[in-house]
Amino acid sequence: MSDIEAFMNPSKPLRCFIRDDDGGWDDDKLLRLLRAFADRGLPIDVAMIPIATTSALALRLQREDLNAAHGIGYHQHGFAHLNHETQGRKCEFGGSRSWPMQHADIADGQQRLRDLMGSALDPIFTPPWNRCLPQTLSLLDELGFAAISTIKGSALAASAPLAQIPVTIDFQKRSNGERLQWPEFCGYANKQMAGEATVGIMLHHQTMTAEDFQHLFELLAGWQRSGNVEFCAMRDLLPACAVAAA
Ligand SMILES: [Zn+2]
């Protein structure tokens, strides 16, 4: 069986969630993506950038019923999605930021999103570039977050006081700066999914091409048909006590 066939037809039961990052950027494209998920009865979660989330966007999402009733969840992403590191990998919550600065960013972002989105907001945090300091997790815990979402293989996995809801597959995966072609991508995705009972797919709507949309919805339709995939929202993966407190 080819990598593409194996990816499109999962032979074992899987749970799957989809996390789209960078809510607040390219609102029209975000709404198109969310509408496409709602129309297909598929859940999706959006990591919202607090400073980029406008009241106009919050109103549009509300008016179009793009909400939990249609399986759509929202949670907090990086405050301004800025890289503060002068060396090494990009990071908004890294070593160049003091504890008070990190605290202010996360607390202010949380307040802003709560004001704009109310109960639509889930107690989940996705750090930009899927990374932050281990100490950032204590801040999140203190501020009432129940889970952090990074990516499979993240160094944070073993050290978190919070629940972990890592994504498994970067749908727009690059290698040496170039997007993987679909057959190569399917090979990468199969490797990432090996041994996983729950698979998270990470999207960035802003940079998705028409071809990405087509591949994504062909894939998800195939998984729906297979009967082997249970689609869920990220909030369904939170510990039960966190859901009761939210
Ligand atoms: Zn991001």
Between the CA of 225 and the centroid of ligand 1 the distance, in Å, is 31
Sorted by where each begins, the domain ranges of the chain are 3-245
CATH class of 3-245: alpha beta
Q: Judge whether 47 and 228 are in contact, CB under 8 Å.
A: no
CA distances from residue 68 to 24, 65, 120, 180 in whole angstroms, order as listed: 18, 9, 7, 33
Q: Is the pLDDT of residue 246 over 60?
A: no
Q: What pLDDT score does 95 carry?
A: 84
Q: Is 42 helix (H, G, I), strand (E, B) or coil?
A: coil
Instruction: Output the CA torsion 189→71→124→222 (10° steps).
Output: 0
Mean pLDDT of the chain: 93
Q: How do residues 147-168 score in pLDDT, each as one tens digit? A: 999 999 887 765 567 899 999 9
Q: What pLDDT score does 78 carry?
A: 92
Mean pLDDT to the nearest integer, 189-206: 96
Q: What pLDDT score does 36 carry?
A: 97
Q: What pLDDT score does 180 carry?
A: 96
Between the CA of 22 and the centroid of ligand 1 the distance, in Å, is 5
Q: What pLDDT score does 134 carry?
A: 86
Amino acid symbol at 149: S
Query: At residue 124, what are phi and psi to the nearest 5 degrees?
Result: -125, 145
Q: Summarize the chain as % helix, strand, coil (round to 5).
A: 45, 20, 35
Q: What pLDDT score does 148 carry?
A: 94
Q: Is the pLDDT of residue 241 over 80?
A: no
Q: How would residue 40 be classed by pLDDT, with cut points 50, 70 and 90?
A: very high
Share of the chain above pLDDT 90, in %: 80
Q: What pLDDT score does 144 carry?
A: 95
Q: What pLDDT score does 243 carry?
A: 55
Between the CA of 21 and the centroid of ligand 1 the distance, in Å, is 5
Q: Is the pLDDT of residue 206 over 70?
A: yes
Q: How would residue 131 be classed by pLDDT, with cut points 50, 70 and 90?
A: confident
Mean pLDDT to the nearest integer, 66-82: 94
Between the CA of 12 and the centroid of ligand 1 the distance, in Å, is 31
35 or 87: whose pLDDT is higher?
35
Between the CA of 47 and the centroid of ligand 1 the distance, in Å, is 8
Q: Judge whether 164 and 147 are in contact, CB under 8 Å.
A: yes
Query: At residue 81, what are phi and psi to the nearest 5 degrees?
Result: 55, 50
Mean pLDDT to the nearest integer, 112-135: 94
Mean pLDDT to the nearest integer, 120-136: 92
Share of the chain above pLDDT 70, in %: 96
Q: What pLDDT score does 245 carry?
A: 53
Alpha helix positions (H), 143-205: 182-193
Query: At residue 220, what are phi and psi to the nearest 5 degrees?
Result: -65, -35
Between the CA of 51 and the centroid of ligand 1 the distance, in Å, is 13
